[in-house]
Amino acid sequence: MIIGIDLGTTNSLAAYFTEEGPKLIPNRLGRRLTPSVVSMDEEEQIYVGDLAVERGLLYPGSTASVFKRDMGSGRKFQLLHKSFTAEELSSFVLRSLKEDAETFLGEPVEEAVISVPAYFNDERRRATKRAGELAGLKVERIISEPTAAAIAYGLYQSQGHMRFLVFDLGGGTFDVSVLERIDSILEVRAVAGDNFLGGEDFTVVLEEMFFEKYPQFDRLTMDTKTLRHIHKQADLCKMGFSEDKKSVMECKIGEELYALTVDLSEYEKACEELLDKIRQPVRRSLSDAHIRLSDIDKVVLVGGATKSPVIRRFVSKLFRAIPDTNINPDEAVALGAAIQGAMKERRDAIKEVILTDVCPFTLGTEVVREWEKGIFENGIFCPIIERNTIIPASRTERLYTAHDGQTKIRVNVLQGESRFARNNLSLGEMTIEVPKAPAGDEAVDVTYTYDINSILEVEVKVVSTGKQLKQVFGGKDLDMTPEEIAERFNTLSYLKIHPRDREENKYLLLLGERMYEESIGDKRQLIEGELHKYEQALNSYEPGEIERAKEAFREFLKELEEF
């Protein structure tokens, strides 16, 4: 069984394909979305999802979130006394989704198609693949999120020649992709984006507004727990605009409640700088695709952040059209990934379609450039495969020796857009020997081949001797051998994800504890009494009594939140 997984910054989810089409897989709490949050207790028990979110509000030092932004960076996240990379934390989320899928489907799940932002570079894509492998999944295909969304919308089934723009604003990343469908070919024409722009940044705007209203609070001196509470209330305030043109942010700091009432127009104005950052990738993608705004037949919204009225109004004005939101923006990518998995299995229910993708960044090497006779400049970037080239692609560039008597040519494999090599990402180096000769007499042909799975093969061939070197590149110092992955998998496997059968009870207790901490007076005493009753039922170990108490406590919390 192949499942599709949307590994998101804020939430993750999985889907599978049936004869009736793609279906979402509920998690252990019966929910479609699993927060991409990981927490660990003193006994090294790992918690994922809603349970980890609640633990994070109570025990911030044991919890990590928004780690997708650091995929492939090598950054370490501290959970109590242990540290983890972003891909290791992501592997816990993926393992949780895998277990939920196996329980729901009643069969082993060994393979997955995992989505990534279109603008993820090779390091980030390979880190995502490693996260899947550390979770015990075979990941043969990484699919770009906008491409997955386009598949979910059935854009490949449309009639005639059409152009689409997929606007994907998630919790932590932003992508815009231009796609074109001709007959049975769905072709990605261009991608652009920002790996550090998402819904989280729009939440921070409300945080800043709160601190502006209450200048007596200094975030630099506040404890992590209070800061997380403020962030949580800002997020709830942001979601409140979906229901009304005014929203209220209430924060309990110490024993006092502090409120901020925000008008939608006021919030929209405060978000202008972020909205301006969105415009640049949109312009860039259209320019790279050689398409005018008026040539776009349909705009599709993807990602949870696009549910915000601020974003929807902005997109409608920018494209002078009402965007398509027929599929829940949170769910489109996972559904598309599941369809891609079915395509890989060549399911009969899937219409035959050819999908093409593009290289999101320019790939090239470092050269010495002679601008005038005898005037040289080192460290110049020489593009070989330009960004938004349809892949798979293979390009060759001939490079010549720069100095008399030169015996070696170094090929620095680079990824990026700057004309200076030092500003681009180095994926690695190759060095090949050449016969000693005057400058410019010896040369090498450098061939870059980039495939659909983001694998770059570099071949360097000496023109005069035929000697050649070949190497496959990933991120510098970040690739792991299969043996290293297996060893790390075994190391992480002892960190057991919290058992499914007790998770809802634990979640409800943490939710009650958090609501108790956020309340004062009579409300706090009421919560304390209900928590005590629920704990007594749990301590009875009587399944029937526990189930009745759970339903009663869940209903109590629901009414409390609505109140």
Query: Angle at the Cα of 532 (from 531 to 538), degrees rounded to 5?
Result: 90
Residue 100 neighbours by CB distance under 10 Å: 23
User: pLDDT above 90 covers what percent of the chain?
Assistant: 51
| Residue 255 domain-assigned (yes or no) | no
Domain boundary among 419, 442, 473: 473
DSSP 138: E
Q: Are 116 and 155 found together in one domain?
A: yes
Question: What tokens does 548 get?
Answer: 């009745």
Phi first, then psi: give them for residue 296, nearest 5 degrees: -75, 125
- What is the rounded distance in angstroms from the CA atom of residue 67 to the CA atom of residue 78? 12
Our CA angle for 206, 211, 215, nearest 5°, is 160
326 and 416 part of one domain:
no
- Chain-centroid distance, C-alpha 380: 32
Whether 346 and 397 share a structural domain: no
Our count of domains for the chain comes to: 3
| CATH number (domain holding residue 443) | 2.60.34.10
Identify the residue whose tokens are 């020997």. 433
Torsional class of 80: left (φ above 0), alpha (ψ -120 to 50), beta (otherwise): left
How far apart are the C-alpha atoms of 354 and 183, rounded to whole Å?
10
Residue 478 pLDDT > 70 = no
Q: Is 97 left (phi over 0), alpha (psi -120 to 50) or beta?
A: alpha
Residues 457 and 409 in one domain: yes
Domain of residue 557 covers 519-562
**String of DSSP letters for 329-390:** TTTHHHHHHHHHHHHHTT-TTSPP-EEEEE-SS-EEEEEEEEEETTEEEEEEEEEEE-TT-E
Cα 215 from Cα 329, distance rounded (Å): 36
Q: Does a structural domain hold residue 208?
A: no
Could you report how far apart the first and last alpha carbons of the chain are, in Å? 44
Q: Is the domain of 19 the same as that of 119? A: yes
Residue with tokens 């919308």: 153
Give the whole-angstrom CA distance, residue 261 versus residue 247.
Answer: 6
Is the confidence at residue 227, as pLDDT, over 80?
yes
Q: Which of 359, 527, 380 is nearest to 448 (CA)?
A: 359
Mean per-residue pLDDT for 337-350? 78
Residue 209 belongs to a domain: no
Q: Distance between CA atoms of 89 and 77, rounded to whole angstroms?
A: 9
The yes-or-no verdict on residue 272 having pLDDT over 80 is yes
Lowest mean pLDDT of 125-139, 273-287, 369-383, name the range. 369-383
For 219, half-sphere exposure in the C-beta direction (CA atoms, 13 angstrom radius) is: 12
Mean pLDDT over residues 431-438, rounded? 95
Distance set, CA 198 to CA 202, 266, 270, 306 (Å)? 7, 19, 15, 10
403 and 537 fall within a common domain: no
* Dist. CA 179–CA 176, nearest whole Å: 10
Handedness of CA 59, 63, 69, 74 (dihedral sign): positive
Sort residue 379 into left (φ over 0), alpha (ψ -120 to 50) or beta.
left
Residue at a domain's end among 358, 376, 402: 358
Tell me, yes or no, whether 108 lies in a domain. yes
- pLDDT band for position 528 (cuts 50, 70, 90): confident
What is the rounded distance in angstroms from the CA atom of residue 88 to the CA atom of residue 82? 12
Q: Which of 100-114, 176-190, 202-216 has the least mean pLDDT?
A: 176-190
Stated pTM of the model: 0.76
**Which tens digits make up the pLDDT trace of 114-138?**
999 888 877 888 899 999 999 999 9
> Quick one: tokens of 349?
């229910």
Predicted pLDDT of residue 21: 86
Does residue 139 sit within a domain?
A: yes
Is 508 part of a structural domain of the chain?
no
Do both 449 and 532 map to the same domain?
no
Give domain status of residue 217, yes or no: no
**Boundary residue ending a domain (358, 393, 417):** 358
Positive or negative torsion for Cα 128, 80, 170, 25: positive
Query: Is 106 in the same domain as 141?
Result: yes
Instruction: Judge if the upstream peptide bond of residue 281 is cis by omega within 30 degrees of 0.
Output: no
**Considering only 249-263, 438-452, 536-550, which range has the smallest mean pLDDT?**
536-550
Q: For residue 176, what is the domain's CATH number?
A: 3.30.420.40
Confidence of residue 429 (pLDDT cuts 50, 70, 90): very high
Whether residue 325 is found in the same domain as residue 367:
no
Which tokens hold the place of 145? Answer: 């999120």
Could you tell me if 129 and 115 are in contact, meaning their C-beta atoms sit under 8 angstroms apart?
no
Tell whether 44 and 185 lie within a shared domain.
Answer: yes
Q: Helix 86-105 and helix 500-518: axis angle, to 10°?
A: 120
Mean pLDDT within 449-463: 85
Residues 300-332: tens digit of each pLDDT: 999 999 999 999 999 999 998 899 888 899 999
- Kindly state the tokens that stand for 560: 């409390």
User: Which residues have a Cβ under 8 Å from the Cβ of 287 and sit 6 or more positions away?
Assistant: none
**499 has a pLDDT exceeding 60:** no
Average pLDDT over the chain, rounded to whole? 88
Model confidence band, residue 475 (pLDDT cutoffs 50, 70, 90): very low
Lowest mean pLDDT among 217-226, 315-324, 328-337, 541-550: 541-550
Residue 506 included in any domain: no
Residues 349, 410: one domain? Answer: no
Check whether residue 175 and residue 320 sit in a common domain.
Answer: yes
The residue count for the chain: 563
Q: How confident is the model at residue 236 (pLDDT cuts 50, 70, 90)?
A: very high
pLDDT in tens, 148-194: 988 888 765 666 688 989 999 998 889 999 988 877 677 888 888 88
